[in-house]
Chains A and B, each alone.
Chain A
Amino acid sequence: MSIPIKPVFVDEKLREVQESGRLAYRSHALPTWCPGCGYFAIVEGLTHACNAMNLPRDQTAVVSGIGCSSRFPFFVDLYGFHTLHGRALPVATGIKTANDRLTVIAVGGDGDGFAIGGGHIAHAAKRNVDITYLLFDNGIYGLTKGQTSPTSAVGLRTSTSPFDNPERPLNPLLMLLSYGVSWLGQAYAGRPDHLRGMIADAIAHRGFSYLHILSPCVTFDKTSRTYVNLGLQVREIPEGHDPTDLMAAMRLAQDTDQPALGLFYHQKRPTLGDTFDEIAARARAKTAPATD
Chain B
Amino acid sequence: MNAAASPPPRHHVIIGNGVAGNQAAELLRDRDPASRVTILTHSRLLFYNRYLLPGIFQDMANWPELLAHPPEHYAARRIHVRRECRVSAVDPRNRLVKLAHNETIPYDTLLVATGGRGHLPEELAEYRPLFHHFGSYEAAMATRRALPERGAVVMLGGDMIGLDLARTLLAIECRVILVTHETTFWPHALTPEERTNALATLVAMGIEVIDGDARGGVAAVEPGAPGLPARRVVFHNGADLYGDVVMPCFGLTPMVEFMVGTGIDIERGVLVSPQLRTSDPHIFAAGDVCQIWSEEEHAYRFYYGYRNVRAMGEVAAINMTGGQEAFATNRVESLGHDAQGRIDSSFWVYDE
Direct contact of A and B (CB under 8 A): no
Listed in ascending order, the chain B residues whose CB lies under 8 Å from chain A are: none
Listed in ascending order, the chain A residues whose CB lies under 8 Å from chain B are: none
